[in-house]
């Protein structure tokens, strides 16, 4: 997980929506992202102040008798002594009944008054800080929001939260079901468009510029990015499909496997059982348990697919690897890179040699690092190949 991933998941982390391995990976990655860490620290501080704000507070007990005495003094000066009001008489009688000892307890000296006013001033400062925090919080959420999303029926009908609709606005937590033989366009302002095909259902999880997320339950859809760097994510079970300026096609087949196709740019696929970068014009199948299959180019020949199947079922068999290398074309190199990760160390070198014969590794990457599956080296080699294919 990199700093872009941390920025995208920041709101969900603060809202407590991350759990398990995703939360653990987020906190580990946060140590290497000082800007995002500082922003989270600031927002957590604001949230803590809001949570700790009391619903009410008690004034100092001494203030009531002190104010009573002061009001009495002012009232006595404002009217002739010979014509006191009934209220002042009652107050005067009450004060006379108070013992001298009790009067000493309730009478404030100069120092007491200063402390009271100082306490009031502190309360005002705290309230001002809280109000400012609330204003900043709402401003942040206002500018970070992409809500509402606009729904238009391209063909047929759909349901929004269980009710038939034709054109509508959608918000976070809304449920959309598209009827059979229908299709719906869901527009995310300044981010992209989702074309949802018939028989599909999904829920909108988040409508923020830093995180536009949907949970796909069934069917298929296509996301088309209109921004150079949108933040869009598809969630299916515990599988996360994260785009990086790419168009995505996602299909849930009859066996509840997720088929993902990338175009225009690359995407990340993350599950509890692994992660994969899927390049432009590649597809892969993720089974319902979260196992991510090898990436395959959309123009790959059947001979290579058959050899790939054998290499998957016999990961240590040198004959299967040799057949795969013979059938591989230039566009299959990223597939070979993933296959190399899955086989024993003793057989990795033959695949490595084929890869670097077409795409020499960038400066600073060694053969040993790649063969020993160093993550940073593998990622750099992947990007070196990806932009050239």
Q: Establish if 117 belongs to a structural domain.
A: no
pTM: 0.65
Average pLDDT over the chain, rounded to whole?
Answer: 82
Q: Establish if 262 belongs to a structural domain.
A: yes
296-297/267-271 β-pairing:
unpaired
**Confidence band for 383, pLDDT divided at 50, 70 and 90:** very high
Of 84-98, 151-165, 191-205, 257-271, where does mean pLDDT reach its minimum? 84-98
Of 57-66, 216-225, 289-298, where does mean pLDDT reach its minimum? 57-66
Residue 154 has pLDDT above 90, yes or no: yes
Q: Which of 52, 74, 93 is the last residue of a domain?
A: 52
Distance CA 354, CA 242 (A): 30
Instruction: Look at residue 271 in the predicted model and tell me its pLDDT.
Output: 95
Q: Establish if 84 belongs to a structural domain.
A: no
22-50 residue pLDDT tens? 888 888 888 888 888 888 877 777 777 66
Mean pLDDT for 103-113 is 50
Instruction: Look at residue 82 in the predicted model and tell me its pLDDT.
Output: 46
288 and 309 belong to one structural domain: no
325 and 267 belong to one structural domain: no
Print burial letters for 122-147: b (CB count within 10 Å at least 16), e (below 16).
eeeeeeeeeeebeeeeeeeeeeebbb
Q: Establish if 8 belongs to a structural domain.
A: yes
Q: Could you tell me which residue, 3 or 321, shows the higher pLDDT? A: 321
Q: Could you tell me which residue, 165 or 204, shows the higher pLDDT? A: 204
Q: Residue 154's domain is classified under what CATH number?
A: 2.60.120.1440
307 and 202 belong to one structural domain: no
* Backbone angle region of 156, left / alpha / beta, with phi > 0 → left and psi within -120 to 50 → alpha: left
Q: In degrees, to the nearest 5, what angle opens at C-alpha 206 toward C-alphas 130 and 182?
A: 150
26 and 160 belong to one structural domain: no
Instruction: Look at residue 201 in the predicted model and tell me its pLDDT.
Output: 97
Instruction: Look at residue 52 in the predicted model and tell me its pLDDT.
Output: 61
161 and 252 belong to one structural domain: yes
153 and 288 belong to one structural domain: yes
Give the number of domains in the chain: 3
228-267 residue pLDDT tens? 666 899 999 999 999 988 899 999 999 999 999 999 899 9
174-183 residue pLDDT tens? 999 999 999 9
153 and 281 belong to one structural domain: yes
Residue 160 has pLDDT above 90, yes or no: yes
Q: Which of 17, 37, 52 is the last residue of a domain?
A: 52
44-83 residue pLDDT tens? 777 776 666 555 555 555 555 665 666 666 655 555 544 4
Instruction: Look at residue 139 in the predicted model and tell me its pLDDT.
Output: 55
Q: Based on C-alpha coordinates, what's the Rg of the chain?
A: 33
Q: Write out 194-258 in H/E/C secondary structure.
A: EEEECCCEEEEEEEECCEEEEEEEECEEEEEECCCCCCEEEEECCEEEEECCCEEEEEECCCCCE
Q: In degrees, to the nearest 5, what angle opens at C-alpha 293 toward C-alphas 291 and 298?
A: 150
154 and 289 belong to one structural domain: yes
Q: Which of 270, 293, 316 is the last residue of a domain?
A: 293
348-377 residue pLDDT tens? 999 999 999 999 999 999 999 999 999 999
235 and 307 belong to one structural domain: no
Residue 125 has pLDDT above 90, yes or no: no
Q: Give helix then strand counts, H and E, for the chain.
A: 13, 18
273 and 308 belong to one structural domain: no
Q: Establish if 200 belongs to a structural domain.
A: yes
Q: Establish if 273 belongs to a structural domain.
A: yes
286 and 155 belong to one structural domain: yes
> Is the Cα torsion angle 334, 335, 338, 340 positive or negative in sign?
negative
Distance CA 149, CA 128 (A): 35
Domain hosting residue 160, numbered range: 149-293
Closest CA relative to residue 136, chosen from 204, 237, 46:
46
Distance CA 85, CA 335 (A): 97
Residue 108 has pLDDT above 50, yes or no: no
Q: Establish if 26 belongs to a structural domain.
A: yes
Q: Establish if 155 belongs to a structural domain.
A: yes
Of 97-106, 170-179, 271-280, 362-371, where does mean pLDDT reach its minimum? 97-106
Please state, for a pLDDT cut of 70, what percent of the chain lies above it: 74
Contact 267, 260 (CB under 8 A): yes
**Residue 57 in 3-state DSSP?**
coil
173 and 280 belong to one structural domain: yes
């Amino acid at each position: 997980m990199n700093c872009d991933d941390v920025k995208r998941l920041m709101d969900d982390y603060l809202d407590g929506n991350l759990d398990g391995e995703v939360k653990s990976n987020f906190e580990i990655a946060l140590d290497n992202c000082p800007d995002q860490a500082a922003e989270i620290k600031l927002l957590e501080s604001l949230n803590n102040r809001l949570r700790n704000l009391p619903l009410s507070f008690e004034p100092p007990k001494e203030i009531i008798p002190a104010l009573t005495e002061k009001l009495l003094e002012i009232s006595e000066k404002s009217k002739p002594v010979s014509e006191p009001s009934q209220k002042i008489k009652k107050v005067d009688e009450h004060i006379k009944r108070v013992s001298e000892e009790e009067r000493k307890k309730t009478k404030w000296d100069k120092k007491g008054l200063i402390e009271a006013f100082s306490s009031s001033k502190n309360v005002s400062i705290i309230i001002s800080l809280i109000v400012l925090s609330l204003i900043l919080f709402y401003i942040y959420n206002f500018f970070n929001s992409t809500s509402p999303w606009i729904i238009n029926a391209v063909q047929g009908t759909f349901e929004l939260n269980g009710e038939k609709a034709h054109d509508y606005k959608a918000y976070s937590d809304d449920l959309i079901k598209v009827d059979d033989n229908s299709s719906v366009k869901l527009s995310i302002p300044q981010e992209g468009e989702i074309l949802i095909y018939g028989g599909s259902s999904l829920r909108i999880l988040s409508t923020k510029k830093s995180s536009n997320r949907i949970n796909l339950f069934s069917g298929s859809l296509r996301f088309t990015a209109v921004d150079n760097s949108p933040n869009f994510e598809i969630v299916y079970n515990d599988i996360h499909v994260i785009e990086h300026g790419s168009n995505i096609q996602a299909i849930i087949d009859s066996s509840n496997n997720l088929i993902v196709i990338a175009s225009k740019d690359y995407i990340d696929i993350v599950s509890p059982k692994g992660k994969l970068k899927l390049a432009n014009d590649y597809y892969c199948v993720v089974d319902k348990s979260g196992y991510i299959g090898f990436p395959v180019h959309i123009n790959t020949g059947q001979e290579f697919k058959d050899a790939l199947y054998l290499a998957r079922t016999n990961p240590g068999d040198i004959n299967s690897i040799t057949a795969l290398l013979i059938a591989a074309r230039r566009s299959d190199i990223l597939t070979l890179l993933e296959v190399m990760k899955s086989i024993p160390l003793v057989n990795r070198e033959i695949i490595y040699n084929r890869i670097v014969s077409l795409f020499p590794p960038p400066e600073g990457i060694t053969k040993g690092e790649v063969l020993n599956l160093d993550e940073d080296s593998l990622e750099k080699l992947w990007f070196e190949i990806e932009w050239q294919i």
